[in-house]
Amino acid sequence: MLDFHISLAKAKEALKVSDSPFKELFGHGTLSVELYKPEKLDLQTPHDRDEVYIIAEGNGRFHLENESIYFGKGDFLFVPAGKVHKFETFSADFSTWVLFYGPKGGEIKK
């Protein structure tokens, strides 16, 4: 049977037993879904696929290439493959869903 529902509570529990700030929770085709909760610093580097963040909890400031924006719970952020990005500051309760998809190098913009 296909897992088609993952609660935030279940995802947070899975992340707690991981020794990493992220945990892959679902995969289907090119889609990979993770929960990401960095501690104090976001150390990620550019990824080779397009990605979407949907903020699960918390707020802060996000940097993409030459722009920075404030974000909050429920916000949607898109990062094209290969772009420099990070969560510059974030509240202690911050966590985000991360969805990676498509081919390496990203999809072609229409």
Question: Which tens digits make up the pLDDT trace of 14-34?
Answer: 999 988 999 999 999 999 999
Instruction: Return left, alpha or beta for 105; rule: phi > 0 is left, psi -120 to 50 is alpha, else beta.
Output: left
CATH 3.40.640.10 for domain 8-101: no
Q: What is the mean pLDDT of the chain?
A: 94
**Predicted confidence (pLDDT) at residue 2 exceeds the cutoff of 60:** no
pLDDT level of residue 110 (50, 70, 90 thresholds): confident
Using an 8 Å Cβ cutoff, are 52 and 21 in contact? no
**Predicted confidence (pLDDT) at residue 97 exceeds the cutoff of 90:** yes
**pLDDT of res. 1:** 42
